[in-house]
Amino acid sequence: MAAAPVWSVDPRTGKQREQVAVEATAHEVDTAVRAAHEARAALADRTVRAAFLRTAADRLQAAGDRLVEAADAETALGPVRLTGELARTCFQLRAFADIVDEGAFLGVVIDHPDDTATPPIPDLRRYKVPLGVVAVYSASNFPFAFSVAGGDTASALAAGCPVVVKAHPDHPALSELVAHVLRNAAAEHGVPAGVVGLVHGFEAGLELIRHPLVAAAGFTGSVRGGRALFDAAAARPVPIPFHGELGSLNPVLVTEAAAAERGEAIGTGLAGSMTLGVGQFCVKPGLVLVPSGAAGDGLVKSLTDAVSNSEAGVLLDHRMRDNFLAGVAERTGLPEVDSPVTPGAGGEHTVSAGFLTVAASALAEEGAHDVLLEECFGPVTVVVRYDDEAEATRVLSRLPGNLTATVHLSAEEAAGEGRGAAVLAELTPLAGRVLVNGWPTGVAVAPAQHHGGPYPATTSTSTSVGGTAIERWLRPVAYQGAPEALLPPELRDDNPLGLPRRFNGVMEV
């Protein structure tokens, strides 16, 4: 039977644009993984790795106009948004090149023998080595930053791990273009093209996670798809790490004092955050706790005005549009749920933004309203009106893990008066990033960033954004009693590579 074609589709019309490829067979997946496995030696030199990453950023930037045009045709995200996302992707590649040059990610620790310790300490030398081939599963909503050249790929290459990317069906043509750019960049430094493999197709994704030479995987997508791959990774004869980002409600708590002080501004800010990118951000605020009474009413009015004035938009594909409309219909059909601005079909190919309201008492205990505690991908949020702090706490206690949790405080609360610190502590177990007086959309690429959270937000405790994302693709190894002449240069006393390290208990930078 002939392999199924892979089509590029215009989400603005739902029509096929061009056939890009065919779905990979098991044999083709095996070929891609083996080619990646053979490319490991070419990445062993940190100087080569860093230069490759910088060249990749330069080549992507040089091809920017063509790449943004292709991305917009397949995602409808718009040139402005996509140009910014490509710049972020290039910045990320260069940032990892800097990390590779610095070398601190290797975690070098050297302890000389100490017979006076209890128990005695032998000669021990520890650092981190690459895991091997990494399977990367592209996301739909970030065709640059979480796709072929995105954070998983950049951090894996920085760690010394070749990648095989399972392209997302929402942007296959762009995926092919970006992979071509990366391979050309690799060739400039003598790195084989197989260092970045690319496969298409659902079955290819399953074959990839099961391949015995794949050592780890990174995924960004739905709870259902991510959990299936997570389970497959664990069911292998040799299980592998699976770093999956699966879904997040991203709760927001607005205190009564904050609503009274600046409810209008909070309502406007919420509207901007929940409709950004047609609500297709993984950190979109999906559940917002707002106090009952006049202060909260003002916030809701501001939100109503702002969302009512937002324009209908195109989702990434028609399947997502169907799921969004079905999710909205299920939620608006619940008793005690109102929709001041009803989200729905904005046109044949678009959706309109809106929000729902419900009393906190409906969510305080398990029941029919529990679907409101699940992510609905698209431009919709749920405003939960609470009567007192205890009621808000009961709702928060029922939430699953999240990427973010946000609190809006008054000026006095932010200065340490009242419950500000207590609320921050209450939100900390819920998420990997806790925000105060801000909005979660917008994830800075910075050393201190953490983009992850308790399950189901992610399947591990790692981050997929920021410098420490490299740690996912490394494992520590310690040598005991090894003669100096046999040690890798990273672990020798004279430190020929000039690496940051801990030497006999003292940090050397």
How far, in Å, are 47, 86, 93, 109, 465 from residue 150 at the CA level?
Answer: 21, 9, 8, 30, 10
Q: What is the DSSP letter of 460?
A: S
What is the pLDDT at residue 418?
Answer: 85
> Which residue segment(s) compose the domain that 340 sits in?
251-436
Does the annotation count 282 as an active-site position? yes
Return the CATH number at 310: 3.40.309.10
| Residues 314, 257 share a domain | yes
What is the pLDDT at residue 1?
Answer: 57
Find, among 50, 40, 155, the residue nearest to 101 by Cα. 50
Instruction: Give the mean model confidence (pLDDT) for residues 316-322.
Output: 95
Residue 370 in domain: yes
Residue 489 in domain: no
Instruction: Give the mean model confidence (pLDDT) for residues 80-103.
Output: 98
Q: Is the pLDDT of residue 113 over 60?
A: yes
Q: Residues 28, 85, 207, 245: which is the catalytic one?
A: 245
Instruction: Give the mean model confidence (pLDDT) for residues 122-126.
Output: 98
Residue 365's pLDDT band, with cuts at 50, 70 and 90, is confident
Q: Is the pLDDT of residue 117 over 60?
A: yes
| Residues 78, 225 share a domain | yes
Residue 368's pLDDT band, with cuts at 50, 70 and 90, is confident
Of 27-31, 284-288, 440-444, least confident by mean pLDDT is 440-444
Q: Residues 90, 161, 282, 376: which is the catalytic one?
A: 282
Does the annotation count 90 as an active-site position? no
Q: Is the pLDDT of residue 424 over 80?
A: yes
Would you state the structure tokens that stand for residue 47, as one six-digit string? 């100087």
Q: What is the DSSP letter of 186?
A: H
Q: Which residues contact 103 (CB under 8 A, 6 or more apart)?
A: 46, 490, 497, 498, 499, 500
Q: Where is 176: in which H helix or E strand?
A: helix 172-187
pLDDT in tens, 251-304: 999 999 999 999 999 999 999 999 999 999 999 999 999 999 999 999 999 999
Q: Please, are residues 163 and 56 in contact by the beta-carbon 8 Å criterion?
A: no
What is the pLDDT at residue 140?
Answer: 96
Q: Is the pLDDT of residue 325 over 70?
A: yes
| Residues 324, 241 share a domain | no
What is the pLDDT at residue 370?
Answer: 95
| Residues 282, 242 share a domain | no
Residue 417's pLDDT band, with cuts at 50, 70 and 90, is confident
Q: Please, are residues 165 and 133 in contact by the beta-carbon 8 Å criterion?
A: no
Find, among 198, 161, 191, 151, the residue nearest to 177 by Cα. 198
Q: Where is 153: in which H helix or E strand?
A: helix 151-159
Please report the DSSP string for 238-280 in residue order: S---EEEE-----EEEE-HHHHHHHHHHHHHHHHHHHHGGGG-
Domains contained in the chain, number: 2
What is the pLDDT at residue 192?
Answer: 98
417 or 169: which leads in pLDDT? 169
The whole model's pTM is what?
Answer: 0.96
